[in-house]
Amino acid sequence: MCLDRCERGSVCGRGACQLSDFSTCAYRAGDGAYQFCSRGVCAGWEGPQYPGGDDSFGGICVRPEYCIARGDADPPLSPDLAEGACRYSDGTEVVTGPPPLDACPPSDPRARYCGGPCSISCPEDEFDFFEHRRFPCAGLSDNRGFGVCAVSLQVCVEGQPRPLSTIDGEQVVCMVPMPQPAEHPAHGYEVPLSVCRDYVRHHPDHATCVDGNFDPIL
């Protein structure tokens, strides 16, 4: 059963109010494949029972509040959702929830801020013709009150160099949320350089900008 009636934009599934605009999320440590939510966090199952193996996890996208309240669900949730971790885009677990903020800071329309008071769903990738996936909302965490909409479905993974594009003549870089779980390769999300610098300005100890080789950008 869902903890309460699901609000608009959500559907009840597997005992949780699942965000209906981008419903699944997954990470495979072996190849750095990462698919994250355009809103909310990843609630689900991990380890040997998940097809990716011991270093992988996957699940459905839900609001952070669900992850904090689910221990009190009555009747109990299905075992895989009740016992699996809820994770943010950086791979860390949801414990206390994002810090509350009064308002969403101004953001660049090319890569808007999302999550927390910035309650938007990141846009669809217009070139993803078959699956119509939405760009991930990256950065929300227990120490960051909002995230930023990436401009690519691809992630940057440490140790896997790759070229990065430009957008409106501006270099695209990877915003790397910190800290991240030590057992997984560090990863980041593509945003314009000015957006990354502004996000880091809001979170100086919890995010950094790197290039396609994972070298820091000042």
| Domain edges within the chain | 10-87, 113-210
Whether residue 129 has pLDDT greater than 70: no
Q: Tokens 């939405």 — which residue?
A: 134
Higher per-residue pLDDT: 127 or 30: 127
* Residue that wins the pLDDT comparison between 120 and 185: 185
| pLDDT for position 33 | 59
* 51 has a pLDDT exceeding 70: no
Q: Is the pLDDT score of 196 beyond 90?
A: yes
Cα of first residue to Cα of last residue in the chain, in angstroms, is 48
Task: Find residue 118's DSSP bridge partners.
Answer: 115
pLDDT surpassing 60 at residue 137: yes
Task: Give the confidence band of 63 by pLDDT, cuts at 50, 70, 90.
Answer: confident
Partnered with residue 15 across adjacent β-strands are: none
Helices (H), 46-170: 64-69, 79-83
Q: What mean pLDDT, rounded, does the chain reach?
A: 79
Q: Looking at residue 48, what is its pLDDT?
A: 45
pLDDT at 212 over 90: yes
Report the share of the chain in percent with pLDDT over 70. Answer: 71
- Judging by beta carbons within 10 Å of its beta carbon (0-12, 13-18, 19+), is residue 211 exposed, middle or buried? middle
* 7 pLDDT above the threshold of 80: no
Whether omega before 179 lies within 30 degrees of 0, making that bond cis, reads: yes
Give 9-31 pLDDT, tens digit per residue.
555 555 555 554 445 787 665 55
The mean pLDDT value for 52-58 works out to 60
What is the model's pLDDT at position 49?
A: 44
Q: What is the pLDDT of residue 74?
A: 52
pLDDT at residue 181, rounded to an integer: 83
Percent of the chain with pLDDT over 90: 41
pLDDT higher for 200 or 181? Answer: 200
